[in-house]
């Protein structure tokens, strides 16, 4: 079997298992795209592309193998080689580099044993001392060993032990700088694990900690980007949009082990289009000088957002459709592309239909570049959910707005207005009668009045009975 046939067979099997498979072209150069990142996310993103893009799979996997061989992750290397063998078995680079595997595995084993032995030694020394005799130097030595061990596990791809090591360090952190550093390392590991509850926890801890103005400038954009990513993972698109659009442009490449500035532009734009109304999009996205710096990295998205705000929905959707393959190949965005696009299209249809009492299905199908049958299904869903108030005339292929009985609506509103006016007038008449009767009603200092006088009244006990009779007559005159 030739390589192209094997390639097609692999992706056909993935498509049959309901996995995302991209067969079309993309708008990015692979090496340029991956240079926006650093560390393990480069390999993870390349492996994701290798499993989901038929045109880029071989190139992505070979590039991933190149990066992996500069690390200590033997497991990830074997995973990449296995994938390449399945996709292109006749390729010259599918052979396993046994020498590298042997050397790297030995190095990992030796370094792990050395660090774990040192950690046990520090623990034993601390246990043998009384609390008052414990030296800060020994505690710091154990902390540094745990930190080094966590970084070692992370480099080897052992995320579970890396996470445990970093979490244990927090109990020993003696300085603010160390707490902030360890919290960011936990966030980095948690993102790779998909443990976004831990991400939110560490974001909260960093926000609750005291920071210098310099640290505030450094950590605010990182926390905003991490929070946005956490909300995106949870499908909380509105919260994600607000986190990303509020992310300071000083983020730059400071978090490129997880996310790039281009990602902030893409994630923020799509979540905003899916969850914010047109007025919010104008105020919080288009007129946001800070987010504009991110949009300059992805100018097509700025055009799409402008088209949406200016009710040119078909132009907006066409741009998004052109870049759909790119977003399917994003490691964090791919599983959200379909729901995000559906929300954006539903919002566009609802906004489009507001201006009409009746519109033909063929014209809507043409405007939104989707088959008429699919349009009908989407409209039925929108009608059931109450997104639009309309009915579908299948015989004449029309979408007709539901007619409201304007006369009865006006009558109800007029009656409610008259009732409110009558009530307010009665209250004013009662107030006027109080004043005419010479009563000054105030809040009592003592809620229990033993004299029987009207609380706050200027009348004494002698005249309170006459005052009450007079007041009762006034109430009756008003009809209250």
What is the phi/psi pair of residue 450, to 5°?
A: -80, -15
Compute the distance between CA of residue 212 and CA of residue 338 in angstroms, rounded to an integer: 42
Under DSSP, the state recorded for 403 is: P
Q: Contact, 388 vs 379, CB < 8 A?
A: yes
> Cα torsion at 335, 337, 340, 343 (round to 10°)?
-110
Structure tokens at 8: 């097609």
pLDDT beneath 50, residues of the chain: 1-2, 130-138, 141, 448-467, 469, 471-472, 474-476, 478-480
**Residue among 208, 205, 294, 193 at smallest CA distance from 243:** 294
User: What is the widest separation between alpha-carbon atoms in the chain?
Assistant: 114
How many CA atoms are closer than 13 Å to the CA of 197, on its beta-carbon side?
A: 0
How many CA atoms are closer than 13 Å to the CA of 474, on its beta-carbon side?
A: 20
Compute the distance between CA of residue 429 and CA of residue 435 in angstroms, rounded to an integer: 10
Edge to edge, the sheet with strand 398-401 lists 358-360, 398-401, 390-393
What pLDDT does residue 134 have?
45
pLDDT digits 0-9 by tens, 420-463: 988 989 888 888 887 888 776 665 665 544 444 444 444 444 44
Compute the distance between CA of residue 44 and CA of residue 83 in angstroms, rounded to an integer: 13
Q: Contact, 267 vs 229, CB < 8 A?
A: yes
Compute the distance between CA of residue 42 and CA of residue 80 in angstroms, rounded to an integer: 13
DSSP letters along 7-35, please? HHHHHHHHHHTT---B-S--SS-HHHHHT
What pLDDT does residue 442 have?
65
Under DSSP, the state recorded for 453 is: P
Q: Contact, 337 vs 380, CB < 8 A?
A: no
What pLDDT does residue 129 have?
55
Compute the distance between CA of residue 161 and CA of residue 145 in angstroms, rounded to an integer: 14
Residue 309 burial by CB count (10 A; 0-12/13-18/19+): exposed, middle or buried?
A: middle
Under DSSP, the state recorded for 53 is: B
Structure tokens at 186: 């936990």
Compute the distance between CA of residue 145 and CA of residue 118 in angstroms, rounded to an integer: 7
Compute the distance between CA of residue 80 and CA of residue 100 in angstroms, rounded to an integer: 14
**Residue among 4, 25, 22 at smallest CA distance from 88:** 4
What residues pair up with 398 in beta bridges, in sequence order? 360, 393
Structure tokens at 248: 């300071």
Task: List Cβ neighbours of 156 (8 Å cut-off, separation of 6 or more).
Answer: 72, 73, 74, 108, 112
Compute the distance between CA of residue 97 and CA of residue 81 in angstroms, rounded to an integer: 10
The number of residues making up the chain comes to 480
The predicted model scores a pTM of: 0.78
User: How many degrees, rounded to 5, is the angle at CA 371 between CA 365 and CA 372?
Assistant: 60
Q: Which domains does the chain have, with CATH numbers?
A: 356-401 (1.10.10.10), 406-478 (no CATH)
What pLDDT does residue 95 have?
87
Compute the distance between CA of residue 440 and CA of residue 453 in angstroms, rounded to an integer: 12
Q: Is 83 left (phi over 0), alpha (psi -120 to 50) or beta?
A: alpha
Compute the distance between CA of residue 376 and CA of residue 362 in angstroms, rounded to an integer: 10
What residues pair up with 393 in beta bridges, in sequence order? 398
């Amino acid at each position: 079997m030739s390589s192209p046939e094997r390639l097609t067979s692999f992706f056909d099997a993935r498509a049959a298992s309901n996995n995302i498979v991209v067969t079309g072209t993309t708008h990015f150069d692979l090496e340029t795209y991956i240079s926006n990142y650093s560390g393990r996310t480069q390999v993870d993103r390349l492996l994701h592309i290798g499993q989901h893009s038929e045109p880029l799979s071989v190139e992505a996997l070979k590039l991933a193998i190149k990066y992996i061989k500069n690390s200590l992750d033997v497991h990830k290397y074997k995973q990449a080689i296995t994938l390449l063998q399945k996709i292109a078995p006749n390729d010259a680079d599918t052979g396993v580099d046994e020498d590298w595997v042997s050397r790297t595995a030995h190095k990992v084993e030796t370094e792990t044993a050395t660090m774990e032995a040192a950690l046990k030694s520090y623990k034993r020394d601390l246990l043998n001392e009384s609390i008052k005799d414990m030296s800060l130097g020994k505690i710091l030595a154990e902390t540094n060993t745990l930190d080094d061990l966590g970084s070692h596990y992370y480099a080897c791809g052992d995320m579970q032990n890396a996470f445990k090591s970093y979490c244990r360090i927090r109990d020993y952190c003696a300085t603010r700088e160390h707490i902030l550093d360890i919290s960011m390392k936990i966030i980095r590991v948690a993102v790779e694990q998909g443990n976004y509850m831990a991400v939110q926890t560490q974001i909260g801890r960093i926000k609750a900690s005291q920071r210098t103005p310099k640290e505030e400038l450094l950590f605010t954009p990182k926390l905003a980007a991490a929070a946005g990513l956490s909300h995106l993972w949870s499908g909380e698109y509105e919260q994600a949009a607000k986190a990303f659009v509020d992310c300071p442009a000083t983020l730059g490449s400071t978090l490129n082990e997880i996310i790039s500035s281009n990602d902030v532009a893409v994630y923020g734009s799509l979540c905003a289009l899916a969850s914010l109304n047109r007025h919010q999009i104008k105020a919080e996205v288009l007129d946001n000088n800070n987010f504009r710096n991110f949009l300059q990295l992805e100018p097509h998205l700025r055009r799409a957002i402008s088209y949406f705000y200016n009710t040119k929905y078909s132009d907006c959707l066409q741009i998004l459709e052109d870049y759909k393959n790119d977003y399917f190949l994003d490691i964090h965005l791919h599983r959200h592309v379909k729901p995000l696009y559906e929300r954006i299209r539903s919002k566009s249809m609802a906004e489009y239909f507001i201006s009409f009492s009746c519109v033909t299905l063929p014209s809507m199908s043409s405007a939104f570049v989707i088959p008429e049958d699919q349009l009908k299904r989407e409209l039925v869903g929108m009608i059931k959910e109450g997104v639009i108030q309309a009915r579908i005339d299948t015989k004449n292929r029309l979408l007709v707005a539901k007619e409201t009985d304007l006369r009865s609506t006006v009558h109800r509103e007029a009656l409610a207005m008259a009732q409110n006016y009558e009530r307010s007038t009665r209250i004013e008449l009662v107030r006027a009668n109080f004043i005419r009767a010479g009563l000054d009603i105030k809040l009592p200092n003592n809620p229990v009045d033993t004299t029987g006088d009207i609380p706050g009244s200027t009348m004494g006990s002698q005249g309170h009975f006459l005052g009450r009779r007079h007041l009762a007559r006034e109430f009756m005159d008003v009809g209250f």
